[in-house]
Structure 1
Amino acid sequence: MWMKLLLLFGFWNIDKKFVFGLENLALNKPTRQTSEYGSGLISSNAVDGNLRNDDYSCSHTKNRTDTPNWLLVDLEAEYEITSIKVLNRREHNGDRLNNFTVSVWQYDPGPHIKYNMVDNENCICVHYPNTAERGTWTNLTCTKICMGRFVLFILNYQEILSICELEIFGNIYNGCSTQYLPEMNIKKVEGKRSSSPNCTLLPYEVVNVYECIHQCLQMNNCISFNYGPNLINTVNCQLVRCFSHPKQDFTVDSDWIWRYLSH
């Protein structure tokens, strides 16, 4: 009888995906970070379900350059994010994990990751100004429910970012949010186009930019799109459905305008 109740309420699951009735949305999802400190210290270490908290079981960036150090998780669907848990390193370097912000985005923030991002670009789940305790979990509840697909963990000062495990919790977004959603905005970057070598762009010939927008909105997982006023090989609209690296995956091209979706 007790075993049936435990399974019913999700207190235990062999794959560790469900804990106390909550699903860890971040488990084994695509990730990337500002940089890699060394071999094996990759961003996916932060969402692999390995709860060891030594040096080589965690994500680890290099020293900050011209942008703050960050780690980004693609949940691959839109969720209403309610809380997060972060497992810190156990040795003295664990003191580095402090003064961080967790934000939620509908689109891949790409090159827009910077200090002091304005609220209309993202939804701030939580800001943590303190130092996380070494070798243990820090449990954080969002100050407001944030709806989006991408969760960004960012340090607010110049320091290496290392996370041993990041767990994200929330509910699938079904079109009826518990918070007010403003109208959809289409922001643009003149003279650039997304050109990730690992991302197949979906080409279209459209009458105008509005038809390209419509194609993106109707396409599952469309994050952004390239549009050009002139046809190039019968194409003037390209849909983007994958990560856009902040520095490497954009090409300067006066014939195109890159646009991304924002609430």
Structure 2
Amino acid sequence: MELIMLGTGNAMVTKCYNTCFALRNEDEYFLVDAGGGNGIFNQLEKAGIPFTGIHRMFVTHAHTDHVLGVIWVIRKIATLMSQEKYTGDFVIYGHDEVVKALTVFCQLTLPRKIVRYLGDRIRLHEVRNGEKAEALGMELQFFDIASTKMKQFGFRAVLPDGKRLVCLGDEPYNEVCRKYVEGADWLLSEAFCLYADREIFSPYEKHHSTALDAGKLAEALQVRNLVLYHTEDKNLVFRKEKYTGEACSVFSGHVFVPDDLERIGL
């Protein structure tokens, strides 16, 4: 299994792509979010991920920097289907608000020859809190992160080797999620900025957290590996070093601060 970070930035970045990623098991990929536009094409191409290898996807929530790229993914896969170049179906998991948003966006912005695949070979699968599914040999369980802004789900994946990976979306941890997160082998957590830079970026006013907060959380929940993403992009040259240092000051496990397109073996 491999984690491929397609994008690592927050909604307003210009020097990297919006946060989204893929999990790879051999030649199959599970896509999570797609950023805010057709830049997802460029990221997938650079990562060497073919659309024909993507049959399952999860969308955490309907904010623009996560959901608009999904429209382009749907368009591309529907086009491949129409050309008989895509085998099987494409399933997109998301809660009710995500499914509603994608349905409306597709109907308003895509041609009929594309939209006709929705509900047929392209299925928008509404998931509820605690619901399970399977992808890439992983057992997935989706959960409501109790967002303070827009409804948002995360997920826990039990990998084929039994390790547990948890995606918390792009908001701070809520205690109601403890049973999904505690003791995870891998925790994917947002870190809007450094705690040292909180006066500059105002993470708490925006309902986000810092690298220091993520490190404290991972230590308290006995997580083994912490991956930080959804950051600001004002100092990318030193991001890896500084974010890692701040999180490691309070966390005894391994910290990863990936760049766009970086791959992490799980």
- Give yes or no for TM over 0.5: no
Bigger RCO of structures 1 and 2 (CA < 8 A, at least 6 apart): 1
- Name the structure with the higher strand share: 1
Which is greater in Rg? Answer: 1
- Name the structure with the higher helix share: 2
What TM-score do the two structures reach when normalised by structure 2? 0.28
What TM-score do the two structures reach when normalised by structure 1? 0.29
